[in-house]
Amino acid sequence: MSMRIEMKKALSGAGLVALIAGSAVADLTTTDEQIASLEAQLREVKTQKAQEMRQGELNQLVNKVAEDASQRSFYSSGPASLVYNGAGKGFTLSDDGGNNTLNIKMYTQFRYNMNFQNDFDGTPNVDGTTEGFEFRRNRIIMAGKLQGDFGYFIQTDFGTGGVLGLLDTYFTWSPEPDVTVIAGQLKAPFMWETLVSASKQLTVDRSTVEAIFGAGRTQGVAVAYTGIENMKIVGAFSDGAGQANTDWNSDANEVAFTGRVDYVFAGEMDQFSDFTSNNSSDFGFRLGGAAHYQDGDVGDGATVTNGLKNSPNVFTWTVDAQAEWQGASLYAAIVGQHVETEGGASTTIDNYGYMAQGSFYMDDDTELFGRWEYIDLDGATTDPNIFTFGANYYVNGQANKLTADLGFTTDQITAAVANDRGVLEVDNPGDDSQFFLRFQWQLMF
């Protein structure tokens, strides 16, 4: 009996222990599941927080970019483009509509010159030979449009002395398609040879006739009209010939007026912007004429004439013609000048200049040329002829061109005719000829 009771107690204790153990195991299993659930919830919270942080950072970046774009729109109304225009034509920066543009280009001319004459050139010269290198031109050109109807043109040059100087700076306005108003410092619309760029001449440089009679650059206002088919008319009111970079009260002239008319009988006006005509050119013929008058002034800035400070009254006229064929070209001009001096004994002077030049292509890249000039200055003791012969080799059109020419004169060269561009020195009285030789390499960018 007693034994049964003990066994029952033992069995009851074992069952209790088993029950407690089972309950503990059940409780332990429940705790692991809860931990796993909490860990999953924590990961979800962390992921959500990270996404919220990234979204916040992205919103800040978007706001910053939008703010920056808003600030930039104050300075630019749209996208811009930069275009390379080809050899010798530079680069153009333009807005999306092409209404505002900036074209930048430059060119340089490097030369070797030689002059041969008798042992005198105005100062003692031991052997009568002068030679040397020079950078004749180093030019930077900026031009473009503003709001479509307005434009600008700026040209600077370092020149032979290496000092930067201003050549042209003017504004244009086109109120009508056929009318352009030009204001600033510009070439006087007189001799065609002057109006053709120095980078597009036939020989190494412009003629001595142009050096003597050309009106050069001035300051004033001009109006160009192209409303008549094949015709261009330009009129200018200015300070007079050779008045670049002068003050308003320089007293060189009272007033000056220039007018020029060109008519194209065949071809297009643009094809006469140079003096060459390669093997792919079409026939063209242009005839032009111009007149220039300036009323001289008396004042501190005027020139000295007859012992008094005054500038003469000058009337100059010119007629020129230009023809182009496939692989050949011809250009001729005549210019006359009437000068009236004032103060003291009034005198009148009449001067004339004549020139003709032509070219012929030997092949697609090699061009032969020749030029004749005759200068008749009133009161001068000599009337020289100047002959020039040479060749152009176009490595890449006008953008990369090699030129060589040689020439000679048939009479004495006086101080009124001598000039650096023509490599002509002053002759000793009685000498009747001199020779010159020029080599040039031209690069345009």
pLDDT digits (tens, 9 = 90+) for 25-69: 444 445 777 777 777 777 777 777 777 777 777 677 666 655 665
Q: Average of pLDDT values for 336-364?
A: 90
Supply the pLDDT for residue 29.
47
SS3 string, the chain, reads: CHHHHHHHHHHHHHHHHHHHHHHHHHHHHHHHHHHHHHHHHHHHHHHHHHHHHHHHHHHHHHHHHHHHHHHHCCCCCCCEEEEECCCCCCEEEEECCCCCEEEEEEEEEEEEEEEECCCECCCECCCCEEEEEEEEEEEEEEEEEECCCEEEEEEEECCCCCCCEEEEEEEEEEEECCEEEEEEEEECCCCHHHHCCHHHCCCCCCCHHHHHHCCCEEEEEEEEECCCCCEEEEEEEECCCCCCCCCCCCCCEEEEEEEEEEEEEECCHHHHCCCCCCCCCCCEEEEEEEEEEEEECECCCCCEECCEEECCEEEEEEEEEEEEECCEEEEEEEEEEEEECCCCCCCEEEEEEEEEEEEEECCCCEEEEEEEEEEECCCCCCCCEEEEEEEEEECECECEEEEEEEEEECCCCCCCCCECCCCECCCCCCCCCCEEEEEEEEEEC
Q: Provide the percentage of residues in the chain whose pLDDT is more than 90.
A: 67
Residue 440 structural domain:
105-444
Among the residue ranges 291-305, 310-324, 329-343, 380-394, the one predicted with the least confidence is 291-305
**Interval 121-162: pLDDT, tens:** 555 555 788 999 999 999 999 999 998 799 999 999 998 888
Among the residue ranges 201-205, 301-305, 387-391, the one predicted with the least confidence is 301-305
Is 403 within the bounds of a domain? yes
Q: Average of pLDDT values for 333-347?
A: 85
Cα gap 112→258, rounded to integer Å: 36
Q: Are 105 and 88 spatial neighbours (Cβ–Cβ below 8 Å)?
A: yes
Supply the pLDDT for residue 89.
92
Q: Is residue 230 domain-shared with residue 286, that is, in the same domain?
A: yes
Look at phi and psi of residue 327 and say left if phi exceeds 0, alpha if psi is from -120 to 50, else beta: left
Is 351 within the bounds of a domain? yes
Q: Average of pLDDT values for 193-205?
A: 98
Q: Is residue 6 domain-shared with residue 137, that is, in the same domain?
A: no
Q: Is residue 142 domain-shared with residue 53, that is, in the same domain?
A: no
Nearest CA among 208, 210, 235 for reference residue 223: 235
Q: Is residue 149 domain-shared with residue 2, that is, in the same domain?
A: no
Q: Is the pLDDT of residue 75 over 60?
A: no
* Average pLDDT for the chain: 86
Q: Is residue 301 domain-shared with residue 356, that is, in the same domain?
A: yes
Nearest CA among 277, 178, 276 for reference residue 229: 178
Q: Is the pLDDT of residue 270 over 60?
A: yes
Is 80 within the bounds of a domain? no
Domain count, the chain: 2
Q: Are 94 and 81 spatial neighbours (Cβ–Cβ below 8 Å)?
A: yes
Is 82 within the bounds of a domain? no
Supply the pLDDT for residue 193.
98
Supply the pLDDT for residue 12.
46
What is the amino acid identity at position 150?
Answer: F
Cα gap 268→209, rounded to integer Å: 27
Question: pLDDT confidence of 8, banded at 50, 70, 90?
Answer: very low
Using a 10 angstrom Cβ sphere, with 0-12 exposed, 13-18 middle and 19 or more buried, the burial of residue 136 is buried
**Interval 381-430: pLDDT, tens:** 899 999 999 999 999 999 999 999 999 999 999 999 999 999 999 988 88
Supply the pLDDT for residue 122.
55
Is 269 within the bounds of a domain? yes
Q: Is residue 56 domain-shared with residue 160, that is, in the same domain?
A: no
Q: Is residue 50 domain-shared with residue 187, that is, in the same domain?
A: no
Q: Is residue 318 domain-shared with residue 429, that is, in the same domain?
A: yes
CATH number at residue 302: 2.40.160.10
Q: Is residue 55 domain-shared with residue 113, that is, in the same domain?
A: no
Is 294 within the bounds of a domain? yes
**Interval 239-265: pLDDT, tens:** 999 999 999 887 788 899 999 999 999
Supply the pLDDT for residue 308.
53
Task: Read off the pTM.
Answer: 0.80
Is 284 within the bounds of a domain? yes
Question: pLDDT confidence of 20, banded at 50, 70, 90?
Answer: very low
Cα gap 21→81, rounded to integer Å: 84
Is 222 within the bounds of a domain? yes
Q: Provide the percentage of residues in the chain whose pLDDT is more than 70.
A: 83
Q: Is residue 171 domain-shared with residue 31, that is, in the same domain?
A: no
Q: Is the pLDDT of residue 295 over 50?
A: yes
Supply the pLDDT for residue 433.
87
> Which among 22, 56, 74 is the end of a domain?
74
Q: Is residue 130 domain-shared with residue 265, that is, in the same domain?
A: yes
Q: Is residue 144 domain-shared with residue 198, that is, in the same domain?
A: yes
Among the residue ranges 156-160, 282-286, 289-293, the one predicted with the least confidence is 156-160
